[in-house]
């Protein structure tokens, strides 16, 4: 088995919720990843991770994924409270200009290093309270629940499609 930071084999679908749970609504990504893990616990094709931030080390682990779903909080006002955005690889520098890595930069690393790139989506959920403390604001939690329903439906459809193609 090739080495990777999580010590697991490649999975078809990865859900990565990232953000800081000690900054209230910034913890939306990890919160959603945890809830999705509960909702989809019977789905062996899906791997879930909660992170503070995206790291370059993820590139090796994600290179064989069929699909990556990144989940993060946003301070922007979003129509409906949450949104899907297709993530395309960002070609560019070999190293990120800051400590913060965007999903597009991570995909660009995968493409540059491994000459392949999984499909990816970023789900941004509007947060209201980014102050120090734990627990989501009531409105952010409602938005997270709406996003979870949409993501579960999407993943179940993707699993069906992946399974159909392999037959």
Measured CA to CA, the distance from residue 20 to residue 8 in angstroms comes to 24
CA dihedral 159, 161, 2, 88 (to 10 degrees): -100
The per-residue pLDDT for range 31-44, each reduced to its tens digit, is 999 999 999 999 98
Measured CA to CA, the distance from residue 144 to residue 71 in angstroms comes to 10
CA 81 from centroid of its chain's CA atoms: 17
Q: What pLDDT score does 167 carry?
A: 62
Q: Can you give the pTM of this predicted structure?
A: 0.89
Q: What pLDDT score does 94 carry?
A: 56
- Based on its alpha-carbon atoms, the radius of gyration of the chain, rounded to whole angstroms, reads 16
Measured CA to CA, the distance from residue 6 to residue 64 in angstroms comes to 14
The per-residue pLDDT for range 38-82, each reduced to its tens digit, is 999 999 889 999 999 999 889 999 988 999 999 999 999 999 999
């Amino acid at each position: 088995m090739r080495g990777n930071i999580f010590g697991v084999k490649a999975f078809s679908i990865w859900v990565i919720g990232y953000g800081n749970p000690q900054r209230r609504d910034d913890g939306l990504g990890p919160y959603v990843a945890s809830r999705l893990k509960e909702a989809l616990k019977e789905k062996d094709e899906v791997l879930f991770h909660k992170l503070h931030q995206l790291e370059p080390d993820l590139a090796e682990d994600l290179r064989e994924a069929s699909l990556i779903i990144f989940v993060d909080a946003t301070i922007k006002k979003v129509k409906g409270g949450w949104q899907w955005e297709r993530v395309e690889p960002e070609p560019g520098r070999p190293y990120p200009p800051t400590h913060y890595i965007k999903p597009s930069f991570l995909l660009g690393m995968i493409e540059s290093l491994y000459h392949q790139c999984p499909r990816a989506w970023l789900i941004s959920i509007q947060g209201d309270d980014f102050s120090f403390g734990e627990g989501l604001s009531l409105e952010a939690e409602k938005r997270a629940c709406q996003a979870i329903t949409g993501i579960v439906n999407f993943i179940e459809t993707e699993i069906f499609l992946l399974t159909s193609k392999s037959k």
